[in-house]
Amino acid sequence: MPIVKNPGYKNSLGKIGEDIAASFFKSNGFEIIKRNYRFGKIGEIDIIVKKDSMIIFAEVKNRNSSEYGGPYYSITERKKQTLKKVASQFLHAHPALLSKDITYRFDMIAIDNGKAEWIEDIFR
C-alpha cells in the first residue's frame, strides 16, 4: 500500500520553519518588515527583516531529511534569480527603503530539528 502524505504537509512544515526563523530574527534584534512577500507568479521571499542599516531577504528551509542534499543545496541558480527579481520589486514598491546607506543581503535560515542555523550572504 503506498504511503500518502498529508496534502498540507509541505505547507505546514514551511510555516513552522518560517515561524522559527521569525522568532530567531526577533531574538537577534531584527524587525520583521514582511513575511511571505509575493511578486505575482514570479516568486516569493519568505522573510524580509531590518536591523540598523541592513535589510535581509531571507530564504527559510525547513527540512526533515537530507535525502536531497539538505537545505544548503536547495538554492539553485534559478532560485537566486527569482529572489533577486522579487527583492528588486519589493524595493521598487517601498522606495523609503532604498538608500545608499543601507546594505542589502540574501541570507538563509536552515531549520534542522527545530533549531535555526543562520547562513549569511548566500549569494551576491
Q: How many domains, in total, are found in the chain?
A: 1
Residue with cell 514582511: 34
Q: For residue 3, how far is the Cα from the chain centroid? A: 30
Question: Residue 11 contacts by C-beta under 8 Å, 6 or more apart in sequence?
Answer: none
Is 108 part of any domain?
A: yes
Q: Does residue 36 lie within any of the structural domains? A: yes
pLDDT > 80? residue 103: yes
Whole-angstrom Cα Rg for the chain:
15
Q: Is residue 1 scored above 80 in pLDDT?
A: no
For residue 3, is it within any domain? no
Where residue 56 sits, what CATH number does that domain have? 3.40.1350.10
User: Angle 116-118-122 (CA atoms, 0-180°, nearest 5)?
Assistant: 140
Range of the domain at 16: 9-123
Say how far apart CA 45 and CA 51 lie, in whole Å.
17
Summarize pLDDT for 2-55 with one digit per residue, the tens: 444 445 444 577 788 899 999 999 999 999 999 999 999 999 999 999 999 999
Q: What's the mean pLDDT when you consider all of the chain?
A: 87
What is the per-residue pLDDT for 37?
97
pLDDT of residue 62: 82
